[in-house]
Amino acid sequence: MSEPRIEVLSILEAELEALHPQARVYQQRTKAPVFFRTTKAEVLRSTKAEIASLVAPATKGQRRH
């Protein structure tokens, strides 16, 4: 029963890896390196946790069928 959930998480993970929307880039006006405030792993971890917390309550109510 958790297969659709795993599929959704893997799709969202792939999209998140492609977009990486929460990364904030800080770059000085010099030719210094670019720094990211958040890493891709941190963004994926927090997004997965948020999705899991949203999906878990919804699936509990659907098992009455």
pLDDT for res 27: 45
Over its length of 65 residues, how does the chain's per-residue pLDDT go in tens digits?
A: 456 677 777 777 777 666 665 554 444 455 656 565 677 788 888 888 888 888 876 565 555 54
Q: Residue 16 falls within a domain, yes or no?
A: yes
Q: Residue 20 falls within a domain, yes or no?
A: yes
Whole-number Å distance between alpha carbons of 15 and 22: 13
Say how many domains are in the chain: 1
Q: Residue 30 falls within a domain, yes or no?
A: yes
Neighbours of 9 (CB within 10 A): 16
What domain range is 17 assigned to?
3-56
pTM above 0.85, yes or no: no
Whole-number Å distance between alpha carbons of 60 and 65: 11
pLDDT for res 34: 57
pLDDT for res 55: 80
Q: Residue 11 falls within a domain, yes or no?
A: yes
